[in-house]
Copies of this chain bind each other. A is one copy, B any other.
Amino acid sequence: MMNLPKEVTIWEVGPRDGLQNEPARLSTEQKIAWINSLTESGLTHIEVSSFVSPRWIPQLADAAEVFAGIQKKAGVVYSALVPNQQGLERALNVGVKAVAVFMSASETHNKKNINKTIDETFPVLRDVTRTAKMHQAFVRGYVSTVFGCPYEGEVSAEQVLRVALALLDDGVDEISLGDTIGVATPLQTERVLDRLLKEIPAERLALHMHNTRGTALANLLVGLTMGITKIDSALGGLGGCPYAPGASGNVATDDVLYMLQGSGIQTGIDEGKLLQSLELLQNSVGHALNSHASKVHLAQGGDHCVTM
């Protein structure tokens, strides 16, 4: 039988990665209410916002206010994305204890996204990581375009490994492997993880899959059978893809939970409370969400869908 882990940690990235790609603007109060409901559901890791320049991502300009306003439950990790020292300082000033730095595995995407080559990016993230560690903060490293780059196509596992190892050497605690454009397939997921796991312990790797081609859950299943126990997801599949109306972005927390629960894997999340949080989110964004679970549960009579 499949060798699946007994427990999995879900890192809810919706308030950051979801909202930065969501056309609807939520008020600071709406964000705080939603994040509080996420805490209520039993999630242990929530990425609250991003301390990037408001000119860059205006949707998340209220990061400090949101962070100060949410109820912080003991034992729950509330993280924030930080692009540089300045962002880190703003985050530390409001008491953030877990930060995430980011770069791409592919040269062109990295250059277009943060205007530096990969080798120019390492020292910047190293400095941020060192300062964060001096303040006893946990540091995540997001590596984008691990399974494909919109400019370069497939990215070699060796290149992903090089970037991941450099970040870990520089003090990053854990690497989140991003399928940024949602192109990964199960065999590719296995191939990349197989290479990485030869040099990096599974507990230092998370999978951050987008469901653009519908393969995210299948890819996550492969990761689970290989010992990965950390999954990034966004409630309701929030965010989608700004250039393809209706296309899926982040894999949905509610869909991940359905698969994990049905496979006997513990997450600590209360499904009923997560669906309440989903309903709150859907009311705040004012349109239907992208997840399968949301369409089944929030559509009238969804549970009675029966066909031959």
Contact = CB atoms under 8 A, between A and B. Distances in A.
Given A244-B295, A244-B296, A247-B305, 12 more contacts: A20-B307, A144-B308, A150-B304, A180-B308, A181-B306, A187-B262, A214-B214, A215-B262, A218-B218, A221-B221, A243-B302, A246-B288
A188 B262 contact: yes
The 6 closest A-B pairs by CB, nearest first: A185-B262, A241-B305, A244-B302, A214-B292, A187-B263, A244-B299
A15 interface: no
Q: Of residues A187, A191, A249, A299, which shows the largest number of chain B Cβ atoms within 10 Å of its Cβ?
A: A187
A153 to B, nearest CB: 12
A: contact size bracket: 35 or more
A304 B183 CA distance: 12
A217 interface: yes
A186 B262 CA distance: 8
Contacts of A258: 185, 213-215
A224 to B, nearest CB: 9
15 contacts: A21-B307, A150-B306, A180-B307, A182-B305, A185-B261, A186-B221, A187-B264, A188-B262, A213-B296, A214-B259, A214-B291, A214-B293, A241-B302, A241-B305, A249-B307
